[in-house]
Every structure is written in C-alpha cells, then in structure tokens.
Amino acid sequence: MTFDIPKEKWTEFLNDLSRRRFGWETRIEVISENMGDQILSSGLPLTGVTFQDRAGRMEIEILVGEGTSHQAHSISDPSALSYLSEPDHYRGLLEIEEANGTKTLLSLIDPMPVQMGYAAFKIVAAS
C-alpha cells in the first residue's frame, strides 16, 4: 500500500522511519531524465533520513553505512514524499520527488535475524 506523506508531516515521518528501520539494508537509486537511472549504493545499513526546511530551502538527507563504508545523499527542493509498504512489512520503498522531476528511491530490506546455535552442557561438580 502506498502512502503520500503531507509536507507538514515529513519531519515526524522521517524521524519515525529512521528509528524503526535503523540498521536495515538499503539500496539508493536516482531516476533522472537528464542522467538516466543510477544506483548510488546497495547493501549499506540505514543510519537515518532527515528533513530540514531553512527559510524556504528544503532538503532531505539520507545517511547509510557505518565506519569507513558510509554515504550521505542530499535531495534539494523535494516536492513529494511517498512510502510503499509491503504487506509482510519486511520491505519498504521511500520515494522522494524533486521539483525538477528527479526521483530518489530508498529501498529498505529487513535484516536477516541472527541465528544462534544451542549446545548441551553437562555440569559436573568438582570436589
């Protein structure tokens, strides 16, 4: 199901998304008439997505990765924000459209759960 997010809710929505999807695997793609389709990154964990509106100059920033492998992607002059949630809630797609028609797609993929093994131990008392 796709949700269009009204501008007055962008900060709240992106802060909530960043908290709930922190560490999820990402893929960032840009679709532009001038430059074509480009994949900017794939497989990096989500650090956060922020929205700032300073004196009418709006910007959304996507932060992914950790340590020496990280990336920041800024979107200037965003005009629309929508989120496609998969029915199983293990994937999501954030679409950010700029005033010039360029779209940035942030795919979110739930990290695989850590599997832990179990071992049987025999406790022997020493005297």
Residues 6+ apart with CB under 8 A from 73: 28, 40, 41, 61, 62, 64, 104
Q: Give the chain's domains with CATH numbers.
A: 2-109 (2.70.180)
Report the distance separating Cα 68 and Cα 62, nearest Å: 17
pTM: 0.82
- Segment 56-114, tens digit of pLDDT: 899 999 999 988 889 999 999 999 999 998 776 678 999 999 999 999 999 999 875 55
- Segment 8-25, tens digit of pLDDT: 999 999 999 999 999 999
Judged against a pLDDT cut of 80, whether residue 118 lies above it is answered with: no
Stretch 24-48: mean pLDDT: 92
Q: What is the pLDDT of residue 112?
A: 59
Report the distance separating Cα 32 and Cα 124, nearest Å: 68
Q: What is the pLDDT of residue 30?
A: 96
How many other CB atoms sit within 10 Å of the CB of residue 21? Answer: 21
How many other CB atoms sit within 10 Å of the CB of residue 26? Answer: 25
Name the residue type at position 25: E
